[in-house]
Amino acid sequence: MQLTETTRGWFLNGEETYVDKTYDIFHPHTEDKLAQVPDSTPDMMKQAIEAAHAAFPKLKKLTKKERADMLFKAASFIEQEKEEVALTISKEACKPLKASLAEVDRTVQTLQFAGEEAKRLDGEYLSLDAAAGGEGRDAYTIFQPIGVIGAITPFNFPLNLTVHKVGPALAAGNPIIIKPSEQTPLSALYLAKVLTKSGFPKGALSVVPGDGVSLGKVLLEDDRVKKISFTGSPEVGKLIKSQAGLKRVTLELGSNSPMYVDRSITDVETVAQKAVQGAFAYNGQVCLSTQRIYVHEEVASSFKKAFVTFTEKLRFGAPEEQETDVSSLINKRSQERVFKWIGEAVEQGASLLTGGEKKDNGITPAVLERVPATASISCAEVFGPVVLINEVRDSQEALEAMNDSHYGLNAGVFTNNLSQAMQMAHELETGQVLINDVPTLRFDHMPYGGVKQSGYGREGVKYAMREMAELKMISINYQS
Ligand code: NAD
Protein backbone atom coordinates (compact mmCIF):
# COMPACT_ATOMS: atom_id res chain seq x y z
CA MET A 1 0.00 0.00 0.00
CA GLN A 2 1.29 3.43 -1.04
CA LEU A 3 0.82 5.99 1.76
CA THR A 4 0.62 9.61 0.61
CA GLU A 5 0.20 12.85 2.52
CA THR A 6 -3.55 12.60 2.16
CA THR A 7 -3.98 8.92 3.03
CA ARG A 8 -6.05 8.36 6.15
CA GLY A 9 -6.91 5.24 8.07
CA TRP A 10 -9.74 3.98 10.19
CA PHE A 11 -9.58 4.09 13.99
CA LEU A 12 -9.36 0.79 15.83
CA ASN A 13 -7.92 -0.15 19.23
CA GLY A 14 -6.48 3.27 19.93
CA GLU A 15 -4.77 3.93 16.61
CA GLU A 16 -5.30 4.93 13.01
CA THR A 17 -4.82 1.88 10.79
CA TYR A 18 -4.30 1.98 7.03
CA VAL A 19 -5.93 -0.31 4.48
CA ASP A 20 -5.66 -0.87 0.72
CA LYS A 21 -9.26 -0.25 -0.24
CA THR A 22 -9.97 3.49 -0.08
CA TYR A 23 -12.19 6.15 -1.58
CA ASP A 24 -11.44 9.80 -2.30
CA ILE A 25 -12.99 12.82 -0.63
CA PHE A 26 -13.13 16.08 -2.53
CA HIS A 27 -13.44 19.69 -1.39
CA PRO A 28 -17.03 20.59 -2.30
CA HIS A 29 -16.09 24.15 -3.36
CA THR A 30 -12.76 23.73 -5.17
CA GLU A 31 -13.25 20.07 -6.12
CA ASP A 32 -9.62 19.40 -5.07
CA LYS A 33 -8.90 16.01 -3.59
CA LEU A 34 -8.78 16.28 0.21
CA ALA A 35 -8.03 12.75 1.35
CA GLN A 36 -8.33 9.07 0.63
CA VAL A 37 -10.01 7.17 3.43
CA PRO A 38 -10.81 3.51 4.03
CA ASP A 39 -13.79 2.17 2.21
CA SER A 40 -14.42 -0.04 5.22
CA THR A 41 -15.75 -3.57 4.79
CA PRO A 42 -18.40 -5.30 6.90
CA ASP A 43 -15.56 -7.35 8.40
CA MET A 44 -13.86 -4.16 9.63
CA MET A 45 -17.10 -3.12 11.32
CA LYS A 46 -17.21 -6.54 13.01
CA GLN A 47 -13.66 -5.96 14.28
CA ALA A 48 -14.73 -2.60 15.69
CA ILE A 49 -17.67 -4.23 17.50
CA GLU A 50 -15.32 -6.89 18.88
CA ALA A 51 -12.90 -4.22 20.15
CA ALA A 52 -15.71 -2.16 21.68
CA HIS A 53 -17.19 -5.20 23.37
CA ALA A 54 -13.77 -6.07 24.82
CA ALA A 55 -13.31 -2.49 26.08
CA PHE A 56 -16.68 -2.37 27.83
CA PRO A 57 -15.58 -3.90 31.19
CA LYS A 58 -12.62 -1.46 31.35
CA LEU A 59 -14.85 1.54 30.68
CA LYS A 60 -17.43 0.36 33.17
CA LYS A 61 -14.74 0.17 35.85
CA LEU A 62 -13.60 3.77 35.39
CA THR A 63 -14.91 5.98 38.18
CA LYS A 64 -17.17 8.87 37.29
CA LYS A 65 -14.38 11.25 38.20
CA GLU A 66 -11.94 9.46 35.89
CA ARG A 67 -14.40 9.63 32.98
CA ALA A 68 -15.13 13.30 33.70
CA ASP A 69 -11.43 14.18 33.91
CA MET A 70 -10.77 12.54 30.52
CA LEU A 71 -13.65 14.42 28.89
CA PHE A 72 -12.43 17.74 30.32
CA LYS A 73 -8.93 16.95 29.09
CA ALA A 74 -10.23 16.27 25.57
CA ALA A 75 -12.14 19.58 25.64
CA SER A 76 -8.97 21.43 26.54
CA PHE A 77 -6.90 19.71 23.79
CA ILE A 78 -9.50 20.71 21.20
CA GLU A 79 -9.59 24.28 22.52
CA GLN A 80 -5.81 24.52 22.07
CA GLU A 81 -6.07 23.36 18.44
CA LYS A 82 -9.17 25.35 17.59
CA GLU A 83 -8.01 27.01 14.33
CA GLU A 84 -6.65 23.81 12.82
CA VAL A 85 -9.73 21.81 13.76
CA ALA A 86 -12.02 24.47 12.32
CA LEU A 87 -10.10 24.40 9.06
CA THR A 88 -10.64 20.64 8.76
CA ILE A 89 -14.38 21.16 9.20
CA SER A 90 -14.38 23.98 6.66
CA LYS A 91 -12.67 21.84 4.06
CA GLU A 92 -14.52 18.55 4.42
CA ALA A 93 -17.99 20.03 5.07
CA CYS A 94 -17.53 23.23 3.01
CA LYS A 95 -18.53 25.23 6.07
CA PRO A 96 -17.64 28.93 6.21
CA LEU A 97 -14.77 29.37 8.68
CA LYS A 98 -16.80 31.58 11.05
CA ALA A 99 -19.32 28.78 11.43
CA SER A 100 -16.59 26.13 11.79
CA LEU A 101 -14.94 28.10 14.58
CA ALA A 102 -18.33 28.34 16.30
CA GLU A 103 -18.74 24.57 15.89
CA VAL A 104 -15.39 23.96 17.59
CA ASP A 105 -16.37 26.26 20.50
CA ARG A 106 -19.61 24.34 20.88
CA THR A 107 -17.76 21.02 20.74
CA VAL A 108 -15.54 22.10 23.63
CA GLN A 109 -18.64 23.03 25.64
CA THR A 110 -20.44 19.79 24.75
CA LEU A 111 -17.47 17.77 26.03
CA GLN A 112 -17.40 19.87 29.21
CA PHE A 113 -21.14 19.28 29.72
CA ALA A 114 -20.47 15.55 29.27
CA GLY A 115 -17.74 15.72 31.92
CA GLU A 116 -20.10 17.51 34.32
CA GLU A 117 -22.97 15.12 33.64
CA ALA A 118 -20.68 12.09 34.11
CA LYS A 119 -20.58 13.06 37.77
CA ARG A 120 -24.31 13.63 38.04
CA LEU A 121 -25.78 10.45 36.56
CA ASP A 122 -27.61 9.56 39.75
CA GLY A 123 -30.79 7.69 40.56
CA GLU A 124 -33.29 8.39 43.33
CA TYR A 125 -34.59 7.08 46.64
CA LEU A 126 -37.92 5.22 46.48
CA SER A 127 -40.38 4.87 49.35
CA LEU A 128 -41.53 1.30 48.88
CA ASP A 129 -43.82 1.62 51.90
CA ALA A 130 -46.04 3.80 49.72
CA ALA A 131 -47.41 0.48 48.44
CA ALA A 132 -49.41 -1.84 50.70
CA GLY A 133 -47.02 -4.48 52.01
CA GLY A 134 -43.92 -2.50 50.98
CA GLU A 135 -42.87 -1.50 54.51
CA GLY A 136 -39.49 -2.42 55.94
CA ARG A 137 -37.57 -1.74 52.76
CA ASP A 138 -35.22 0.90 51.45
CA ALA A 139 -35.02 1.18 47.69
CA TYR A 140 -33.12 3.28 45.22
CA THR A 141 -32.26 3.39 41.54
CA ILE A 142 -28.91 3.51 39.78
CA PHE A 143 -27.93 4.04 36.14
CA GLN A 144 -25.64 1.49 34.53
CA PRO A 145 -24.01 1.67 31.10
CA ILE A 146 -25.81 -0.38 28.44
CA GLY A 147 -22.84 -1.54 26.33
CA VAL A 148 -21.69 -0.94 22.77
CA ILE A 149 -23.29 2.01 20.99
CA GLY A 150 -23.30 2.53 17.23
CA ALA A 151 -23.30 6.19 16.15
CA ILE A 152 -24.26 7.01 12.57
CA THR A 153 -23.66 10.67 11.77
CA PRO A 154 -24.44 13.22 9.02
CA PHE A 155 -22.13 15.57 7.13
CA ASN A 156 -23.29 18.91 8.45
CA PHE A 157 -21.77 19.11 11.96
CA PRO A 158 -19.02 16.50 11.66
CA LEU A 159 -17.49 17.34 15.03
CA ASN A 160 -20.13 18.66 17.42
CA LEU A 161 -22.93 16.30 16.42
CA THR A 162 -20.48 13.39 16.74
CA VAL A 163 -19.55 14.64 20.20
CA HIS A 164 -23.27 14.75 21.06
CA LYS A 165 -23.15 10.95 20.82
CA VAL A 166 -19.58 10.21 21.89
CA GLY A 167 -19.57 12.52 24.95
CA PRO A 168 -22.72 11.07 26.58
CA ALA A 169 -21.74 7.49 25.66
CA LEU A 170 -18.31 7.71 27.30
CA ALA A 171 -19.62 9.76 30.22
CA ALA A 172 -22.11 6.98 30.96
CA GLY A 173 -19.42 4.26 30.57
CA ASN A 174 -20.27 2.89 27.12
CA PRO A 175 -17.89 2.17 24.22
CA ILE A 176 -18.95 3.72 20.93
CA ILE A 177 -18.36 3.09 17.23
CA ILE A 178 -18.72 6.01 14.83
CA LYS A 179 -19.84 5.48 11.24
CA PRO A 180 -19.25 9.03 9.99
CA SER A 181 -20.80 10.55 6.89
CA GLU A 182 -18.96 9.41 3.74
CA GLN A 183 -18.02 13.05 3.00
CA THR A 184 -16.82 14.09 6.48
CA PRO A 185 -14.83 11.38 8.32
CA LEU A 186 -11.80 13.60 9.07
CA SER A 187 -13.26 15.37 12.12
CA ALA A 188 -14.33 12.02 13.61
CA LEU A 189 -10.83 10.59 13.13
CA TYR A 190 -9.39 13.65 14.87
CA LEU A 191 -11.85 13.26 17.75
CA ALA A 192 -10.90 9.61 18.24
CA LYS A 193 -7.23 10.56 18.52
CA VAL A 194 -7.93 13.32 21.04
CA LEU A 195 -10.10 11.12 23.28
CA THR A 196 -7.51 8.34 23.21
CA LYS A 197 -4.79 10.86 24.13
CA SER A 198 -7.06 11.95 26.99
CA GLY A 199 -6.94 8.49 28.53
CA PHE A 200 -9.91 6.49 27.25
CA PRO A 201 -8.93 2.83 26.86
CA LYS A 202 -8.29 1.12 23.53
CA GLY A 203 -11.53 0.08 21.89
CA ALA A 204 -13.59 2.70 23.75
CA LEU A 205 -13.93 4.59 20.52
CA SER A 206 -13.67 3.39 16.91
CA VAL A 207 -14.21 5.19 13.62
CA VAL A 208 -15.27 3.11 10.61
CA PRO A 209 -15.64 5.31 7.51
CA GLY A 210 -17.47 4.19 4.40
CA ASP A 211 -20.80 3.10 3.02
CA GLY A 212 -23.80 3.64 5.30
CA VAL A 213 -25.94 0.80 3.99
CA SER A 214 -23.45 -2.07 4.36
CA LEU A 215 -21.75 -0.85 7.56
CA GLY A 216 -25.07 0.15 9.14
CA LYS A 217 -26.38 -3.36 8.47
CA VAL A 218 -23.56 -4.92 10.53
CA LEU A 219 -24.26 -2.59 13.45
CA LEU A 220 -27.98 -3.34 13.25
CA GLU A 221 -27.56 -7.11 13.06
CA ASP A 222 -25.03 -7.60 15.87
CA ASP A 223 -26.64 -8.31 19.25
CA ARG A 224 -23.63 -6.90 21.09
CA VAL A 225 -24.60 -3.44 19.81
CA LYS A 226 -27.19 -2.27 22.32
CA LYS A 227 -28.12 1.05 20.83
CA ILE A 228 -28.04 2.96 17.54
CA SER A 229 -27.80 6.72 17.82
CA PHE A 230 -28.57 8.15 14.39
CA THR A 231 -28.58 11.70 13.07
CA GLY A 232 -29.50 12.17 9.43
CA SER A 233 -32.36 12.11 6.98
CA PRO A 234 -35.85 10.82 7.83
CA GLU A 235 -35.64 8.21 5.03
CA VAL A 236 -32.61 6.50 6.57
CA GLY A 237 -33.95 7.06 10.10
CA LYS A 238 -37.16 5.15 9.34
CA LEU A 239 -35.18 2.32 7.79
CA ILE A 240 -32.94 2.04 10.86
CA LYS A 241 -35.88 2.00 13.26
CA SER A 242 -37.64 -0.70 11.25
CA GLN A 243 -34.52 -2.90 11.38
CA ALA A 244 -33.40 -2.25 14.96
CA GLY A 245 -35.44 -4.98 16.66
CA LEU A 246 -35.01 -4.69 20.44
CA LYS A 247 -32.04 -2.33 20.24
CA ARG A 248 -32.53 1.13 21.60
CA VAL A 249 -32.70 3.81 18.93
CA THR A 250 -32.41 7.58 18.98
CA LEU A 251 -33.23 9.36 15.73
CA GLU A 252 -32.39 13.01 15.14
CA LEU A 253 -33.89 13.77 11.73
CA GLY A 254 -34.75 16.66 9.46
CA SER A 255 -37.16 19.57 9.54
CA ASN A 256 -38.56 22.60 7.71
CA SER A 257 -38.44 24.86 10.76
CA PRO A 258 -41.07 27.59 11.00
CA MET A 259 -41.11 30.96 12.68
CA TYR A 260 -43.75 33.63 13.32
CA VAL A 261 -43.34 37.40 13.59
CA ASP A 262 -46.28 39.09 15.28
CA ARG A 263 -47.49 42.65 14.76
CA SER A 264 -46.64 43.38 18.43
CA ILE A 265 -42.96 43.35 17.44
CA THR A 266 -41.75 46.92 17.09
CA ASP A 267 -38.16 46.33 16.00
CA VAL A 268 -38.71 44.11 12.96
CA GLU A 269 -35.28 44.97 11.57
CA THR A 270 -33.50 43.21 14.42
CA VAL A 271 -35.75 40.18 14.05
CA ALA A 272 -35.07 40.14 10.29
CA GLN A 273 -31.33 40.26 10.92
CA LYS A 274 -31.51 37.28 13.30
CA ALA A 275 -33.73 35.39 10.87
CA VAL A 276 -31.26 35.90 8.01
CA GLN A 277 -28.65 34.22 10.18
CA GLY A 278 -31.09 31.43 11.00
CA ALA A 279 -31.94 30.87 7.35
CA PHE A 280 -28.50 31.03 5.77
CA ALA A 281 -26.00 29.91 8.41
CA TYR A 282 -23.90 27.16 6.84
CA ASN A 283 -25.72 27.60 3.52
CA GLY A 284 -29.00 26.51 5.09
CA GLN A 285 -27.63 23.00 5.67
CA VAL A 286 -28.63 22.94 9.33
CA CYS A 287 -31.39 20.63 10.55
CA LEU A 288 -32.86 23.68 12.31
CA SER A 289 -32.51 26.15 9.44
CA THR A 290 -35.21 28.78 9.48
CA GLN A 291 -37.10 27.72 6.37
CA ARG A 292 -40.68 29.02 6.71
CA ILE A 293 -41.36 32.51 8.04
CA TYR A 294 -44.92 33.68 8.65
CA VAL A 295 -45.27 37.40 9.26
CA HIS A 296 -48.30 39.35 10.42
CA GLU A 297 -49.55 41.41 7.46
CA GLU A 298 -49.19 44.70 9.37
CA VAL A 299 -45.40 44.31 9.70
CA ALA A 300 -44.79 42.17 6.62
CA SER A 301 -43.54 44.76 4.17
CA SER A 302 -40.99 46.31 6.56
CA PHE A 303 -39.86 42.83 7.64
CA LYS A 304 -39.38 41.65 4.04
CA LYS A 305 -37.53 44.81 3.05
CA ALA A 306 -35.10 44.47 5.96
CA PHE A 307 -34.73 40.72 5.36
CA VAL A 308 -33.79 41.20 1.70
CA THR A 309 -31.35 44.00 2.58
CA PHE A 310 -29.50 41.84 5.13
CA THR A 311 -29.56 38.84 2.79
CA GLU A 312 -27.95 40.79 -0.01
CA LYS A 313 -25.07 41.74 2.31
CA LEU A 314 -24.05 38.08 2.73
CA ARG A 315 -20.77 37.22 1.03
CA PHE A 316 -20.46 34.11 -1.10
CA GLY A 317 -16.99 32.60 -1.27
CA ALA A 318 -14.54 29.85 -0.37
CA PRO A 319 -15.27 28.29 3.02
CA GLU A 320 -11.75 28.89 4.40
CA GLU A 321 -12.02 32.67 3.99
CA GLN A 322 -12.80 34.76 7.09
CA GLU A 323 -15.31 36.99 5.28
CA THR A 324 -17.36 34.19 3.70
CA ASP A 325 -20.95 33.83 4.89
CA VAL A 326 -22.22 31.33 2.32
CA SER A 327 -20.40 28.86 0.12
CA SER A 328 -20.94 25.87 -2.14
CA LEU A 329 -23.37 23.16 -1.09
CA ILE A 330 -22.14 19.74 0.01
CA ASN A 331 -22.44 18.32 -3.53
CA LYS A 332 -23.73 19.09 -7.02
CA ARG A 333 -26.79 16.91 -6.42
CA SER A 334 -27.88 19.28 -3.64
CA GLN A 335 -27.25 22.30 -5.86
CA GLU A 336 -29.40 20.83 -8.65
CA ARG A 337 -32.22 19.84 -6.28
CA VAL A 338 -32.39 23.22 -4.52
CA PHE A 339 -32.29 25.07 -7.84
CA LYS A 340 -35.10 22.89 -9.21
CA TRP A 341 -37.26 23.39 -6.10
CA ILE A 342 -36.93 27.19 -6.38
CA GLY A 343 -38.05 27.00 -10.04
CA GLU A 344 -41.00 24.78 -9.13
CA ALA A 345 -42.16 27.17 -6.40
CA VAL A 346 -42.05 30.10 -8.85
CA GLU A 347 -44.05 28.04 -11.37
CA GLN A 348 -46.63 27.43 -8.63
CA GLY A 349 -47.08 31.17 -8.01
CA ALA A 350 -44.29 32.17 -5.60
CA SER A 351 -42.19 35.30 -6.21
CA LEU A 352 -38.44 35.32 -5.86
CA LEU A 353 -37.37 38.46 -3.97
CA THR A 354 -33.63 37.88 -4.24
CA GLY A 355 -30.97 35.21 -4.96
CA GLY A 356 -31.66 31.71 -6.16
CA GLU A 357 -28.90 31.64 -8.76
CA LYS A 358 -26.27 28.98 -9.24
CA LYS A 359 -22.80 30.11 -8.16
CA ASP A 360 -19.81 27.76 -8.11
CA ASN A 361 -21.31 24.62 -6.56
CA GLY A 362 -23.81 26.56 -4.46
CA ILE A 363 -26.90 28.73 -4.68
CA THR A 364 -27.05 32.40 -3.76
CA PRO A 365 -29.28 32.96 -0.70
CA ALA A 366 -32.86 32.88 -1.98
CA VAL A 367 -35.88 34.62 -0.46
CA LEU A 368 -39.36 33.81 -1.79
CA GLU A 369 -42.79 35.15 -0.90
CA ARG A 370 -46.35 33.88 -1.42
CA VAL A 371 -45.17 30.28 -1.51
CA PRO A 372 -47.98 27.69 -1.67
CA ALA A 373 -47.93 25.08 1.10
CA THR A 374 -47.68 22.34 -1.52
CA ALA A 375 -44.36 23.59 -2.97
CA SER A 376 -41.36 21.46 -1.97
CA ILE A 377 -39.59 24.49 -0.49
CA SER A 378 -42.47 24.71 1.98
CA CYS A 379 -43.50 21.13 2.73
CA ALA A 380 -40.15 19.32 2.40
CA GLU A 381 -36.76 19.97 3.98
CA VAL A 382 -34.75 22.25 1.65
CA PHE A 383 -31.36 21.85 3.33
CA GLY A 384 -30.06 24.74 1.26
CA PRO A 385 -30.00 28.57 1.33
CA VAL A 386 -33.72 29.14 0.71
CA VAL A 387 -36.35 30.77 2.90
CA LEU A 388 -40.00 31.61 2.34
CA ILE A 389 -41.80 34.60 3.83
CA ASN A 390 -45.59 34.39 3.75
CA GLU A 391 -48.01 36.96 5.16
CA VAL A 392 -50.69 35.90 7.67
CA ARG A 393 -53.73 37.69 9.07
CA ASP A 394 -53.17 36.64 12.69
CA SER A 395 -51.32 34.26 15.01
CA GLN A 396 -53.95 31.56 14.56
CA GLU A 397 -53.33 31.43 10.82
CA ALA A 398 -49.58 31.34 11.56
CA LEU A 399 -50.04 28.48 14.04
CA GLU A 400 -52.00 26.43 11.51
CA ALA A 401 -49.40 27.01 8.80
CA MET A 402 -46.54 26.20 11.17
CA ASN A 403 -48.17 22.93 12.23
CA ASP A 404 -48.99 22.00 8.63
CA SER A 405 -45.83 19.92 8.32
CA HIS A 406 -44.62 16.33 8.51
CA TYR A 407 -41.81 17.63 10.69
CA GLY A 408 -41.64 19.01 14.22
CA LEU A 409 -38.21 19.94 15.54
CA ASN A 410 -37.87 23.61 16.59
CA ALA A 411 -40.24 26.56 16.14
CA GLY A 412 -39.63 30.26 16.83
CA VAL A 413 -42.23 32.85 17.82
CA PHE A 414 -41.46 36.57 17.95
CA THR A 415 -44.12 38.41 19.91
CA ASN A 416 -44.56 40.87 22.75
CA ASN A 417 -47.96 39.41 23.57
CA LEU A 418 -47.43 37.05 26.50
CA SER A 419 -50.65 35.08 26.28
CA GLN A 420 -50.19 34.64 22.53
CA ALA A 421 -46.63 33.40 23.14
CA MET A 422 -47.77 30.88 25.73
CA GLN A 423 -50.72 29.69 23.68
CA MET A 424 -48.49 29.10 20.67
CA ALA A 425 -45.83 27.42 22.81
CA HIS A 426 -48.42 24.92 24.01
CA GLU A 427 -50.01 24.32 20.61
CA LEU A 428 -46.99 24.11 18.33
CA GLU A 429 -46.31 20.51 17.33
CA THR A 430 -42.54 20.56 17.81
CA GLY A 431 -39.98 19.25 20.28
CA GLN A 432 -38.77 22.74 21.23
CA VAL A 433 -40.37 26.20 21.07
CA LEU A 434 -38.25 29.33 21.27
CA ILE A 435 -40.04 32.53 22.16
CA ASN A 436 -38.33 35.61 20.74
CA ASP A 437 -35.59 33.55 19.13
CA VAL A 438 -35.19 31.96 15.72
CA PRO A 439 -35.87 28.21 15.48
CA THR A 440 -32.23 27.71 14.52
CA LEU A 441 -31.14 28.29 18.11
CA ARG A 442 -29.73 25.38 20.05
CA PHE A 443 -27.64 25.24 23.19
CA ASP A 444 -25.87 21.97 23.71
CA HIS A 445 -27.28 21.09 27.13
CA MET A 446 -30.89 21.66 26.08
CA PRO A 447 -33.08 18.60 25.69
CA TYR A 448 -33.29 18.33 21.94
CA GLY A 449 -35.26 16.15 19.58
CA GLY A 450 -38.21 16.05 17.28
CA VAL A 451 -41.79 14.88 17.00
CA LYS A 452 -43.49 13.60 13.84
CA GLN A 453 -40.87 12.80 11.18
CA SER A 454 -38.21 14.90 12.92
CA GLY A 455 -37.21 12.15 15.25
CA TYR A 456 -37.50 9.81 18.14
CA GLY A 457 -35.84 10.25 21.54
CA ARG A 458 -33.81 13.14 22.86
CA GLU A 459 -30.24 14.37 22.77
CA GLY A 460 -28.69 17.20 24.80
CA VAL A 461 -25.96 15.69 26.96
CA LYS A 462 -27.92 14.84 30.13
CA TYR A 463 -30.92 13.53 28.16
CA ALA A 464 -28.78 11.49 25.75
CA MET A 465 -27.03 9.87 28.72
CA ARG A 466 -30.30 8.62 30.16
CA GLU A 467 -31.06 6.97 26.83
CA MET A 468 -27.62 5.34 26.96
CA ALA A 469 -28.03 3.93 30.45
CA GLU A 470 -30.05 1.17 32.07
CA LEU A 471 -32.12 2.14 35.08
CA LYS A 472 -31.79 -0.49 37.80
CA MET A 473 -33.83 -0.63 41.01
CA ILE A 474 -32.30 -2.08 44.16
CA SER A 475 -34.43 -2.82 47.22
CA ILE A 476 -33.16 -3.81 50.67
CA ASN A 477 -35.53 -5.58 53.03
CA TYR A 478 -34.12 -4.59 56.43
CA GLN A 479 -36.71 -6.53 58.40
CA SER A 480 -35.89 -9.92 56.94
P1 NAD B 1 -28.09 10.90 5.44
O2 NAD B 1 -29.30 10.32 6.06
O3 NAD B 1 -27.93 10.83 3.98
O4 NAD B 1 -26.79 10.21 6.05
C5 NAD B 1 -26.56 10.16 7.44
C6 NAD B 1 -25.72 8.94 7.77
O7 NAD B 1 -26.47 7.76 7.51
C8 NAD B 1 -24.44 8.82 6.93
O9 NAD B 1 -23.38 8.44 7.78
C10 NAD B 1 -24.77 7.70 5.94
O11 NAD B 1 -23.66 7.00 5.51
C12 NAD B 1 -25.66 6.82 6.81
N13 NAD B 1 -26.56 5.90 6.07
C14 NAD B 1 -27.08 6.04 4.84
N15 NAD B 1 -27.86 4.98 4.55
C16 NAD B 1 -27.84 4.16 5.61
C17 NAD B 1 -28.46 2.92 5.94
N18 NAD B 1 -29.27 2.30 5.08
N19 NAD B 1 -28.22 2.36 7.13
C20 NAD B 1 -27.42 2.98 8.02
N21 NAD B 1 -26.80 4.15 7.80
C22 NAD B 1 -27.02 4.74 6.60
O23 NAD B 1 -28.01 12.43 5.96
P24 NAD B 1 -27.00 13.59 5.55
O25 NAD B 1 -27.29 14.04 4.16
O26 NAD B 1 -25.60 13.25 5.91
O27 NAD B 1 -27.46 14.73 6.58
C28 NAD B 1 -28.53 15.56 6.34
C29 NAD B 1 -29.76 15.16 7.12
O30 NAD B 1 -29.45 15.06 8.50
C31 NAD B 1 -30.88 16.20 7.03
O32 NAD B 1 -32.12 15.58 6.88
C33 NAD B 1 -30.78 16.90 8.38
O34 NAD B 1 -31.96 17.55 8.79
C35 NAD B 1 -30.42 15.78 9.27
N36 NAD B 1 -29.85 16.27 10.51
C37 NAD B 1 -30.62 16.25 11.64
C38 NAD B 1 -30.10 16.77 12.83
C39 NAD B 1 -30.89 16.75 14.11
O40 NAD B 1 -30.28 16.92 15.16
N41 NAD B 1 -32.19 16.55 14.09
C42 NAD B 1 -28.82 17.31 12.84
C43 NAD B 1 -28.09 17.32 11.66
C44 NAD B 1 -28.60 16.81 10.50
Residue of 92, 94, 287, 467 marked catalytic:
287
Amino acid at residue number 189: L
Are residues 275 and 313 in contact, defined by beta-carbon separation less than 8 angstroms?
A: no
Confidence at residue 440, expressed as pLDDT on a 0 to 100 scale? 98
Assess whether the region 10-253+455-473 and the region 258-443 belong to the same CATH fold.
no
CA 212 – CA 185 distance, rounded (Å): 12
The predicted structure's pLDDT at residue 46: 98
Tell me which residue of 169, 16, 167, 32 sits closest to 94, measured CA to CA: 32
User: Of 252, 369, 391, 459, which residue is the catalytic one?
Assistant: 252
Ramachandran assignment for 83, one of left (phi > 0), alpha (psi -120 to 50 degrees), beta (any other): alpha
**pLDDT at residue number 2:** 73
Sign of CA dihedral 60, 63, 66, 72: positive
Query: CB of 116 closer than 6 A to ligand 1?
Result: no
- Ligand 1 contact, 1 CB (< 6 A): no
Q: How far is the CA of 235 from the centre of ligand 1 (A)?
A: 9
Q: How far is the CA of 298 from the centre of ligand 1 (A)?
A: 40
**Would the CB of 213 count as within 6 Å of ligand 1?**
yes
Report CA(446)–ligand 1 centroid distance (Å): 21
* Type and span of the H or E element at 261: strand 258-261
Phi, psi at 371, each rounded to 5°: -90, 125
CA distances from 478 to 126, 134, 474 (A): 14, 11, 13
* Residue 5 burial (C-beta neighbours within 10 Å; 0-12, 13-18, 19+): exposed
DSSP code for 156: S
Burial 18-43 (b: 16+ CB within 10 A, else e): eeeebeebebbbbeeebbbbbbbbbe
SS3 462: helix
Concerning whether 252 is annotated as a catalytic residue, the answer is yes
Separation of alpha carbons 442 and 121, rounded Å = 23
**Cβ–Cβ under 8 Å, residues 378 and 292:** yes
Is the shortest distance between the CB of 237 and ligand 1 below 6 Å? no
Cα(232) to centroid(ligand 1), Å: 2
Question: d(Cα 79, Cα 86) in Å, to the nearest integer?
Answer: 10
What pLDDT digit, counting tens, does each position of 329-338 carry? 999 999 999 9
Burial 344-372 (b: 16+ CB within 10 A, else e): ebbeeebebbebbeeebbbbbbbbbbebe
Instruction: Tell me yes or no: is domain 258-443 CATH 3.40.309.10.
Output: yes
Work out the burial of residue 178: count CB atoms within 10 Å of its CB; fewer than 13 is exposed, 13-18 middle, 19 or more buried.
Answer: buried
String of b and e for 271-293 (b: at least 16 CB within 10 Å)? Answer: bbbbbbebbbbbbbbbbbbbbbb
- Measure 110 CA to ligand 1 centroid, in angstroms: 20
Domain boundaries, the chain: 10-253+455-473, 258-443
- Ligand 1 within 6 A of 285 CB? no
Distance in angstroms (rounded) separating the CA atoms of residues 299 and 259: 14
pLDDT at 97: 98
Residue 258's nearest CA partner among 458, 438, 454 is 438
In degrees, to the nearest 5, what angle opens at C-alpha 192 toward C-alphas 326 and 456?
A: 65
Identify which of 250, 43, 223 has the alpha carbon closest to the alpha carbon of residue 147: 223
Name the residue of 184, 236, 382, 441 to mutate for ligand 1: max ligand atoms within 8 A of Cβ: 236
pTM beyond 0.85, yes or no:
yes
Q: How many CA atoms lie within 13 A of 122 on its CB side?
A: 5
287 is catalytic: yes
H/E run at residue 149: strand 148-152
DSSP 326: B
Question: CATH top-level class for 10-253+455-473?
Answer: alpha beta
Give, using CA atoms, the residue closest to atom 26 of ligand 1. Answer: 154
Would you report the helix, strand and coil content of the chain in percent, each value rounded to 5? 40, 25, 35
* Residues of the chain under the 50 pLDDT cut: none
Spatial separation of the C-alpha atoms in residues 67 and 279, rounded to whole Å:
38
Nearest atom (ligand 1) to Cα of 181: 9
Residues 6+ apart with CB under 8 A from 317: 96, 323, 324, 327
3-state secondary structure of 418: helix
Q: Which of 163, 217, 221, 231 to mutate to test the pocket of ligand 1 (most atoms within 8 A of CB)?
A: 231
